[in-house]
A and B are shown apart, each in its own frame.
Chain A
Amino acid sequence: MRALVIEDYSPVRNSVRDGLAEHGYAVDVASNGEDGLWLAEQNPYDVVILDIMLPKLDGLEVLRRLRSKGSKVAVLLLTARDTVEDRVGGLDLGADDYLAKPFAFAELLARVRALVRRAYAVKDPVIRVEDLVIDTVKRVVRRHDDVIPLSPREYALLEYLAMRAGELVTRTEIWEHVYDFRSDAHSNVVDVYVGYLRKKLGAPQLIHTRRGHGYILGGQE
C-alpha cells in the first residue's frame, strides 16, 4: 500500500514516514501544500495523510483541489486544531477521517489500515483467499495453518494482491502501490518478487500469470 504524508513539521513527517515504512507501506513525503498536491495528483496513493496548517497551500485547500479534480484517494486529516468546527469543516470538504495532534502512532496505523480496507471494499481485516489467510493487522500470513515468513516487501506485494483478490492486477499497478520514490529498483523487480512469493506460498499455485497483462491472486484454474 502506498501512502503520501504531507506535513511541514519535520519530526512528525519523518516519524510517520519511518513508522509507516516499517509497517510495509511505500511512503512519499511532502513538506508543503504545493508539492503535496502535485504528488497526490501524479501518483495513485492508497492513502494521503494531510496536515491542515501547511505553507504555500493549506491542507484544506489541497483537499478541495484534489476532490474538485475527481480524486477518490482516501484522505486522513492531521491537525493540532480539533474544535468541532475544524473537524466538521475538514470532513465536509471530503476528508475520510480525522486525527488530532498529538496522536498515538498505533491509532494512526489503525486508521490508515481502515482507510485502505474501505478503498478496496474489504470489511474483514483478515483476508481469506482459498486456504490462504492474511491477517492485515498482525501482518501474518498462514497457509494450511502454517505461518509463512515473508519479507516486508513480499508481504506488501501479497497484501496488495489480496486486497484485489480475483482481479487482474497489472505490473504497473503493483509498481505504483508497493514501491515509493525511495525504491531504487526498476519495475522488472515485480516479476522477481512475484517469483519469491510463489515459491514461499507453495503448491497449489495461488498467483496466476496473465501473460502480457499481469497477475491474479486466487480464482480460476
Chain B
Amino acid sequence: MRLAPSSIRGRLIAGTVAAVAVAFVVVGVVVLVLTRSSLRTQFDDGLADKARELAAQIEEDDGKVSSEIDPRTIAATEAFEIWAEGHVLAKSSSLGARDLVPERDEHVITSVQLGSHPARQITLHVQPRREPEDHGAADDDSRVVLAFARSTEAVDATVDRVAAVLVGVGLAGILLCVVLLFGVVRFGLSPVRSLAQAIAAIREDDLSARLAAATTAAELAPVAERLDELLGRLAAAFARERELTAEIAHELRTPLSGLRATLEVALDRERPADRYRTALVECLAITRQTEGVVESLLSLARLDAGQVVIAATPIDLDQLVRDVLATVHTRATERHLEITTDLPPITRTLDRDKVRVIITNLVDNAVTYAEEGGHVRVELAGDVVRISNTGCTLDRDQIAHVFERFWRADASRTASGHVGLGLALCKKLADLLGATITAEVTGGRFIATLTLPS
C-alpha cells in the first residue's frame, strides 16, 4: 500500500492524525491540570485539618504553654514547629536541626521545601486550651504560633502517574486511529477506485460504455456525468471519422475500379497500338480526376487541422475571375454554355490562392451542373461575387445540404467526377477568410453568393 503525500488517502490520514493528536494533547492537558488542582485542594484540606488537630493539643496551664502532641501521630513526611512568645516551644523530630519558617499571616498555605522534597505548609495562630478556672488570662492570639508542613511527594507521584497514563493512552489512541483510518479511508475511497477501474475498462474502439452506472458516490456522480458527456462527444467524433474514412475509401475505390477495369481489359489480348493509347488516355484522365479528389481531401484535412496560413495581398478580383473563367472556356464551349459577366474593377486585400480556389470551385460547379446549352452568369458588386447557372433541379431541402462533404443530389458519382467536396471546401475556406458563402435556387437557377469581408 503506497502512501504518497500528494494522494487523497495520504492527506486524509495525515490530516486526521494531526487533528486527533491535537485533540488528545488539549484534552490531556486539561485533564491533568484539573486532576492536579483537585488533588491539591484535597491535600491542602487534609493539611489544614491535621494542623487544627495539632493546635488543639496545645495547652496553657497557669500562663505556661505546653504541647501535648504525640510524636507517633506525626508521619515521616510531616513536620511541625510551635513557637510561644517568639521561642521554639516544640518541633517534630522529622525536622532534626532544621526549622520551619512561619508565615506572618494565619491560614496561608504555601509551597516550601521539606528536606529535599517539595511540601505544603500552613501557619496557625493558636489559642491554647486552658483550664476552666483560668479565666483571667489575656487573650493574645499571637502568643503561640503553629506551623505544619507535609511533603507533596505522594500527590506529585499520583499526578505523574496520571500524566503517564494520559500520554500512553494518547499515543495508543493515535496509533489505533492511524490503523482504523487506513481501513476507513480505503473504504471511503473505494468509489474512486471502482470509477478508475470502469474508466480503465473503456476501449478506444468501443466508446459506448457509460460511467454513470459505475459509481454510487454522490460526489463522483458529476465527474462520471462529465466523463460520459466527453465519451459521447468522442464517440460521435469517432463515428464521423469512420464515416468520412468510408466515404474517402469509396471515392478512391471508384476511380481505382475504373483504372483497373480499363487496364485489365486493354491487356486482355494483343491489340493495335492506338487501342492501348485510348486506354492510357482514359487512365490518365481518371488519374487527374483522382488527384483532384485527393487534393480537395487534403485541403479539407489541413483546414480541419488548422494548419493553413493566410497571406493577404491586394488582388484585382475582376482579373482573378477572368483568369478562372479562361480555365473552363473549353468545357463551356463543348457544352454550348453561354457565359455572361459583369466584372467592374475591384481591388481587395485578400489571400489570393484561397479566393481563387473558392471562385474556381464555384465556376467549375456552374459549368458542370448547367444543362447543355444553358447559361452561366458571374458578377462582381462591391464585396459580393455571385455565380449562377441554369438547369438546377435541386429543391429547397437539398440546397440546405450542398455545403456538406460528399453530398451529391443523386448520391452517386456523375460523369463529371464531382464527388461533393468542392462546395464543402469553399465553405471552409470562406469561413477561414471571414467571408460568407450562401446558396439558393430560384426558378431553376442555382445562385452561389460569396460575400468577402469588407
| A4-16 interface code vs B (CB 8 A; 1 in, 0 out) | 0000111110111
Query: Does the CB pair A54–B412 fall under 8 Å?
Result: yes
Per the bound structure, the CA–CA distance linking A106 and B413 in Å amounts to 25
B178 on interface, CB distance cutoff 8 Å? no
**Count of A-B contacts with CB under 8 A?**
80
| B364-378 interface code vs A (CB 8 A; 1 in, 0 out) | 000000000000000
Query: Does the CB pair B258–A12 fall under 8 Å?
Result: yes
- Which residues of chain A (179-204) have a CB below 8 Å from chain B? none
Query: Does the CB pair A15–B265 fall under 8 Å?
Result: yes
* Given A81-B250, A106-B264, A101:B413 Cβ within 8 A: no
A166 on interface, CB distance cutoff 8 Å? no
Question: Which secondary structure characterizes the binding site on chain A?
Answer: loop
Closest to A17 in B: B265
B261 on interface, CB distance cutoff 8 Å? yes
A55 on interface, CB distance cutoff 8 Å? yes
Query: Does the CB pair B260–A104 fall under 8 Å?
Result: yes
B412 — which chain A residues lie within 8 A by C-beta? Answer: 8, 53-55, 58
Query: Does the CB pair B269–A80 fall under 8 Å?
Result: no
B137 on interface, CB distance cutoff 8 Å? no
A167 — which chain B residues lie within 8 A by C-beta? Answer: none
A83 — which chain B residues lie within 8 A by C-beta? Answer: 246
* Given A80-B253, A101-B257, A102-B260, A55:B410 Cβ within 8 A: yes
- Which residues of chain B (244-282) have a CB below 8 Å from chain A? 246, 249-250, 253-262, 264-265, 268-269, 282
Query: Does the CB pair A8–B413 fall under 8 Å?
Result: yes
Query: Does the CB pair A53–B411 fall under 8 Å?
Result: yes
Interface size class of B (residues with CB under 8 A): 20 to 34
* Given A80-B250, A101-B256, A9:B411 Cβ within 8 A: no
Closest to A20 in B: B265
Closest to A21 in B: B265
* Given A11-B259, A102-B259, A58:B411 Cβ within 8 A: yes
Query: Does the CB pair B282–A11 fall under 8 Å?
Result: yes
Closest to A109 in B: B268
Specify which of A22, A102, A104 is in contact with B253 (CB 8 Å cutoff): A102
A19 on interface, CB distance cutoff 8 Å? yes
A80 — which chain B residues lie within 8 A by C-beta? Answer: 249-250, 253-254, 257
- Closest-CB distance, A213 to chain B (whole angstroms): 38
- Closest-CB distance, A25 to chain B (whole angstroms): 13
Per the bound structure, the CA–CA distance linking A108 and B411 in Å amounts to 25
A56 — which chain B residues lie within 8 A by C-beta? Answer: 410
A38 on interface, CB distance cutoff 8 Å? no
Closest to A11 in B: B258
Per the bound structure, the CA–CA distance linking A102 and B264 in Å amounts to 11
Query: Does the CB pair A102–B261 fall under 8 Å?
Result: yes
A18 on interface, CB distance cutoff 8 Å? yes
A103 on interface, CB distance cutoff 8 Å? yes
Query: Does the CB pair A103–B257 fall under 8 Å?
Result: yes
Closest to B251 in A: A80
B208 — which chain A residues lie within 8 A by C-beta? Answer: none
Closest to B275 in A: A18
Closest 7 CB pairs of A and B: A11-B258, A101-B257, A102-B257, A15-B261, A19-B265, A105-B264, A53-B412
Q: Which residues of A contact B (CB under 8 A)?
A: 8-12, 14-16, 18-19, 22, 31, 53-56, 58, 80-81, 83, 100-106
List 11 A-B residue pairs with CB atoms under 8 Å apart, sorted by A's residue number. Answer: A8-B412, A11-B255, A12-B261, A15-B262, A19-B261, A80-B253, A81-B246, A83-B246, A102-B256, A102-B257, A102-B260
